[in-house]
Amino acid sequence: MSNLAQTFGALRSSQKFQKRFSVAVRLVIAVFLIAFSIFPVLWIVSASFDPSQSLATQTSLIPRNASLQNYQRLFGKDPNYKFGDLVFQKWIRNSVKVSGISTILSLTITTMAAYAFSRMRFKGRVAMLKGILLIQVFPNLLALVAIYVLIFQFGEIIPALGLNTHAGLIMVYLGGSMGMNIWLMKGFLDTIPRDIDESGMVDGASHFQIFWHLILPLLRPILVVIGILSFIGTYGDFILARILLNDVNQYTLMVGLQIFTAGQFDQKWGVFAAGALIGALPIMIIYLLLQDQIVGGLTQGAVKG
């Protein structure tokens, strides 16, 4: 009997040891993985403080003579540094403006459409829902030529909506907003009990009143998630903005950074690093703060675009 107890005890302690050992091994692996994950970020932080600003001269992770010179150059505060195509503040402003406006408008479009799909029954409803999903199969990247021609022709008639305008770009973004997000939003709306609507109807409220006063407040969490994902998606978009905007003062941040780094990249490394950090940091912080909500949105099928 005691023999058996001893054996069990030994087994348990060895299991405990095994467990500790495995945790330790996994922690070591974690350190390597984290090194792989954040190494480029650390390196770019270092480069941004390294005044030598060339790729060739950055040799250690801790910069010698660390200074804010690259940031001063980025914001045009360094009189000795002239680079014609660098108007960083404008790019940031353009990016925030374009992403902000298209996010708000596309949220409005999406939420109202999803409300109708969720709460009303009409002919062609299922066909339309399927159709919206099907159309997304055709990436608008493939229709670049057509979109370019379309915006060009728009501009010939209404110059304010043509090539090289933010309004034209925002219109194109809105064209792509009736997609997966409608499904996400409709799925969320379907979980809101219909009793809420019915109580409103009993009081004689119109559809719009019900939507505005009863449903919309309940949608706040999903609106935040979809809004952030769509803001980040638009903020990070490169190709549409690249073909539709052609003036350096109109560029979004992504287009500006890409064009800035197009030639003699190794000589602009430091300034690029500063710009990359400023451009990426707000997005990183949002992601890390809201990672649980965003992961929730992901597992429902949203793919980072």
Binders in 79-108 for another protein, by CB under 8 A: none
- Do 153 and 229 contact (CB within 8 A), yes or no? no
Segment interacting with another protein, rule: CB under 8 A, options 1-9, 69-77, 86-94, 124-132: 124-132
- Do 98 and 169 contact (CB within 8 A), yes or no? yes
- Do 227 and 107 contact (CB within 8 A), yes or no? yes
206-218 b/e with 16+ CB inside 10 Å = b? eeeebbeeebeee
> Which of residues 1, 5, 62, 142 is near another protein by CB under 8 A?
142
Residue 153 interacting with another protein (CB under 8 A): yes
Task: Tell me the two tokens of residue 10.
Answer: 């030994």
Binders in 233-272 for another protein, by CB under 8 A: 235-236, 238-239, 243, 254, 257-258, 261, 265-266, 269, 272
Segment interacting with another protein, rule: CB under 8 A, options 9-17, 62-70, 74-82, 111-119: 111-119
When the beta carbons of 69 and 269 are compared against another protein, the nearer one is: 269
Rg (CA), the chain: 26
When the beta carbons of 6 and 30 are compared against another protein, the nearer one is: 30
Residue 155 interacting with another protein (CB under 8 A): no
Report the distance separating Cα 223 and Cα 110, nearest Å: 10
> Which of residues 11, 135, 196, 216 is near another protein by CB under 8 A?
135
Report the distance separating Cα 163 and Cα 150, nearest Å: 9
Cα-flanking dihedrals φ and ψ of residue 303, to 5°?
A: -110, 135
Amino acid letter, 67: S
When the beta carbons of 77 and 130 are compared against another protein, the nearer one is: 130
> Hey, how many other C-beta atoms are within 10 angstroms of the C-beta on 294?
18
Report the distance separating Cα 35 and Cα 48, nearest Å: 19
- Do 123 and 259 contact (CB within 8 A), yes or no? no
Segment interacting with another protein, rule: CB under 8 A, options 62-70, 86-94, 203-211, 221-229: 203-211
Q: How many residues bind another protein (CB under 8 A)?
A: 99
CB of 265 to another protein, least distance (A): 7
> Hey, how many other C-beta atoms are within 10 angstroms of the C-beta on 197?
19
Binders in 24-53 for another protein, by CB under 8 A: 26-27, 29-30, 33-34, 36-38, 40-41, 43-44, 47
When the beta carbons of 4 and 303 are compared against another protein, the nearer one is: 303
Residue 222 interacting with another protein (CB under 8 A): no
Residue 62 interacting with another protein (CB under 8 A): no
Segment interacting with another protein, rule: CB under 8 A, options 65-73, 84-92, 145-153, 219-227: 145-153
Angle at Cα 105 formed by Cα 102 and Cα 107, nearest 5°?
A: 105
CB of 79 to another protein, least distance (A): 26
